Amino acid sequence: MNVTYTVKPRDTLDGIAKSYDCSVQELQSLNGIDNPRRLQIGQLLRIPKSSQATGTTSASAASTDQTWSSTILRFIDAVGRPIKDLGVRLVSSEGNEVTARTDANGCVSALACTKPEAKIDIHVERAKHKGGGEKQIGSYTPMAGQQTVKVQSGKQVETTKIRRHDGQPQTPPRTMKNELPGTKIETATPQGNPLTCIKCGECPNDDDLLLGANLEFRDHVKTAAKRAAVLPQAVAAVMNAEAAKDKAGKWKADSKSDKSSATGMTQFLDGTWVGEALRAGTFLNEKAVKEGWLSKDAKGQLQFKKADGTFVTSPGLTSKLTAKTMIPSARTAQDKNLQKLLNLREQAEYAIMAAMDYAKYNLDCLTAKGYDIASLNDTEKARIMYLCHHLGIGDAVHFIQNTIPEEDIYAEDKKGKKRLKQNGAKKLLTAQIGEKKAEKNYVTPKGGSWVKGHRAWLSEFIEGHIVPHTFACPGKKQESFKDEERAAKLESTTDDLKK
């Protein structure tokens, strides 16, 4: 009997090798594995014959060469999230049966069939308010070899074969690297026989990036991560904290504030957006130059070309473009070219790129002020990015230095007019959650201090919303982010940065 082993969550090739008293290299060679860290949950591994006597396998893990198929079912909800702890019973037409509850990945143990005509009936537990018991939600006819079957919302069944194919592929073969889950890849053998694959799971992938409902923004997130010099999981965490979302958790590209001109996924104000377009080196600036909206005059001064062919020129170009004469009301410009620029906020690519360009700019500003940003890990950087976006760079520096006052501080200008010099903690916290809630939940527990209350609320908010591990595929990278998050308390980070 030739023994095989079915890969389970958290398995490593090194651990399996130790269990069977063989080497990782033997397993790699026997199973055609190029990267020992790229195991698939449910993958069947052949065990070297010299090691089979020493290894221990469960009934569901062992099979013979006569096994026609081995099928693992993965149950997910309507937006692709795994359904955990669901009671499942699988019954094959050959009499084999698996009864189990789904694990954290929504999976149950593999069910083996020995004949091509075998069929698997899928039963799940029925909700108690519907009478309990179980119901059959579908049947599946396995393909030869190992496969993972995705059962979505109890209705839709899609499959992907993940065993190695020994035949000759069509030339050139199609790649599935950049295809979205659910995309059918049609190809054919040299004999003309059709082959169809359906890519089901988002993980694993080259970056171990898990975006779920926001998968369509994957390329933008990856590109923005390179621009900001952080991992894509950190970008996704910042985006998720800033963006409004629909019921499925998808970032809303056309989000609009009813209190200000804030628009798009990252809620840029009219003035801030225009400022980012004028700042050299940003993704938005490159677009404005390419469209011919921005250029330099004969003196080297920056100028904006209006739709009528005339120019608004520096100095003070940002103030001129955001004046009431140019933008009389929120999101509404008098000039068509300026309106096109403002409208880019509602395009996901520009919103994500601008968010990271702005975040990187803020980190660079902190570095220029003498703060050791380079020593921070990606989770810490993401949280400081959000701190700067939330407070603005000026108040962010005061937060780091713990110099935000209780109340607003005013100063008189040369004309004797009173002007705001520094925001106070009371105003900052009240603006976010209201005065009564602030006093009850944060200020009173902190001895009546608005400064301590504001720091407690903002730390709690950022630590609860900037969580990169939720955007990492299960495995080492996800665990690494979890370790960072546990250690990267906001006030500990700012204490380390404080001068």
pLDDT for res 166: 47
What are the extents of the domains in the chain?
A: 1-64, 202-252+369-499, 254-346
- Please, which pLDDT band fits residue 281 given cuts at 50, 70 and 90? very high
Secondary element (H or E) of residue 162: none
Nearest alpha-carbon partner for 211 in 250, 264, 265: 250
The CATH superfamily of 1-64 is: LysM domain (3.10.350.10)
372-393 per-position pLDDT tens digit: 999 999 999 999 999 999 999 9
Residue 67 has pLDDT above 90, yes or no: no
Q: What is the pTM of this model?
A: 0.62
Q: What is the pLDDT of residues 151-166, one digit of tens each?
A: 875 444 444 444 444 4
Q: How far apart are CA 161 and CA 164, in angstroms?
A: 9
Mean pLDDT, residues 167-187: 46
User: What are the beta bridge partners of residue 100?
Assistant: 88
Is cis: bond before 48, omega within 30 of 0? no
Q: Which two tokens stand for residue 443?
A: 């200020």
pLDDT in tens, 434-477: 999 999 999 999 999 999 999 999 999 999 999 999 999 888 88
Longest CA–CA span in the chain (Å) reads: 94
Please state at what angle helix 393-401 crosses helix 490-497, rounded to 10 degrees: 90
Of residues 435, 439, 457, 455, the one with CA closest to residue 447? 439
Percent of the chain predicted with pLDDT > 90? 52
Q: Residues with Cβ < 8 Å from 74, sequence gap 6 or more?
A: 82, 105, 106, 107, 148, 149, 150, 151, 200, 201
Q: Which residue has the tokens 């407070």?
A: 391
pLDDT value of residue 4: 67
DSSP character at residue 332: B
Per-residue pLDDT for 33 more than 90? no
Closest CA relative to residue 124, chosen from 90, 165, 161: 90
CA distance 415 to 334: 33
Under DSSP, the state recorded for 179 is P
Residue 204: is the preceding peptide bond cis (ω within 30°)? Answer: yes
The model's confidence at residue 113, banded by pLDDT at 50, 70 and 90, is confident
For residue 271, report the phi and psi dihedrals to the nearest 5 degrees. Answer: -65, -40
pLDDT at 132: 80
